[in-house]
């Protein structure tokens, strides 16, 4: 018996609704704590991640040390993209993470940057001059890039000479803002904040040699709150894939 046009239409509508429901059931949202230096890369990755998997990434940005405190106090984060390897490892040892989920997603690079063209030379000699009043760094107790900055100054023998000039931001994002707005003539920032696709995006910068500070290995980990969230696991796998790798490298990170 042939189906009438009405029955065919109703049947098609039922199939479409079922398919839509199935797609919604497969799509989840993941709450991610992201180190401030990784703001631009994760925003680009999030768009591809949602397009390719259907899952939605909701990011919060800040200093790694501050996120540690928030996580210990019950913040609803499911995945943590830190600016170091120490903090995720500590959370792992405290049974706050999903075992076996931690890995290094990027290795960061420190840069001395000024918003002024030609202000910072390619060897960082500007640090030894007297033409600047303020040097911006991130809080070394909360932000790994801030710690790398203090290690660099120490290696260069400039800790005492720059002490009175240092202004601290709570995160690397705030350290960058101090320089961007002119409140500091120069500052130590993440290369990813002033670099894209092999080119410097603004001002002048010195890429700090890696041997002047400890490696900035940035680890990702699934937190206990994300244990049963398919989107959390999908994000971790996506960060290991070629699309995410291309974005990460485009901002000057090593893999």
Q: Tell me the pLDDT of the chain (255 aa) as tens digits.
A: 444 443 334 344 333 334 343 344 457 999 999 999 999 999 999 999 999 999 999 999 999 999 999 999 999 999 999 999 999 999 999 999 999 999 999 999 999 999 999 999 999 999 998 889 999 999 999 999 999 999 999 999 999 999 999 999 999 999 999 999 999 999 999 999 999 888 888 899 999 999 999 999 999 999 999 999 999 999 999 999 999 999 999 999 998
Q: Do 103 and 120 reside in the same domain of the chain?
A: no
Q: Do 163 and 198 reside in the same domain of the chain?
A: yes
Q: How far apart are CA 58 and CA 34, in angstroms?
A: 10
pLDDT score for 165? 97
Domain membership of residue 207 (yes or no) is yes
pLDDT score for 26? 58
Its domain, for residue 189, covers 109-212
pLDDT score for 130? 83
Is the CA virtual torsion 97, 99, 103, 109 positive or negative? Answer: positive
- For the entire predicted model, the pTM comes to 0.83
Domain membership of residue 20 (yes or no) is no
Residue 41: name the closest of 232, 252, 247 by CA: 247
Q: Do 128 and 100 reside in the same domain of the chain?
A: no
Q: Do 123 and 200 reside in the same domain of the chain?
A: yes
Domain membership of residue 224 (yes or no) is yes
Domain membership of residue 16 (yes or no) is no
Reported in sequence order, the residue ranges of the chain that DSSP labels E, i.e. its strands, are: 29-35, 56-62, 79-81, 103-108, 110-114, 135-138, 166-169, 186-190, 195-196, 199-200, 204-207, 216-222
CATH of the domain at 171: 3.40.190.10
pLDDT score for 101? 98
Q: Do 113 and 100 reside in the same domain of the chain?
A: no
The CA-based diameter of the chain, rounded to the nearest angstrom, is 93
pLDDT score for 6? 39
């Amino acid at each position: 018996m042939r189906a009438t046009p009405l029955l065919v239409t109703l049947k098609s509508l039922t199939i479409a609704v079922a398919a839509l429901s199935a797609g919604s059931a497969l799509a989840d949202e993941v709450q991610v704590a992201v180190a401030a230096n990784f703001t631009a890369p994760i925003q680009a990755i999030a768009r591809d991640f949602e397009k390719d998997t259907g899952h939605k990434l909701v990011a919060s940005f800040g200093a790694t040390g501050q996120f540690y405190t928030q996580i210990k106090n019950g913040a609803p984060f499911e995945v943590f993209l830190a600016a170091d390897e120490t903090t995720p490892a500590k959370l792992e040892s405290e049974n706050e993470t999903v075992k076996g989920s931690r890995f290094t997603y990027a290795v960061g690079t420190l840069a001395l940057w000024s918003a002024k063209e030609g202000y910072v030379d390619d060897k960082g000699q500007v640090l030894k001059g007297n033409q600047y009043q303020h040097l911006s760094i991130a809080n070394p107790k909360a932000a790994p890039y801030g710690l790398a900055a203090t290690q660099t100054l120490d290696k260069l023998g400039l800790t005492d000479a720059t002490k009175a000039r240092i202004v601290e931001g709570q995160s690397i994002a705030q350290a960058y803002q101090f320089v961007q707005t002119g409140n500091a003539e120069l500052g130590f920032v993440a290369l990813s904040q002033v670099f894209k696709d092999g080119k410097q995006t603004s001002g002048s910068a010195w890429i700090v040699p890696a041997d002047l500070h400890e490696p900035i290995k940035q680890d990702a980990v699934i937190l206990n709150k994300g244990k049963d969230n398919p989107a959390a696991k999908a994000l971790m796998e996506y960060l290991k894939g070629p699309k995410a790798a291309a974005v990460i490298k485009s901002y000057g990170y090593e893999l």
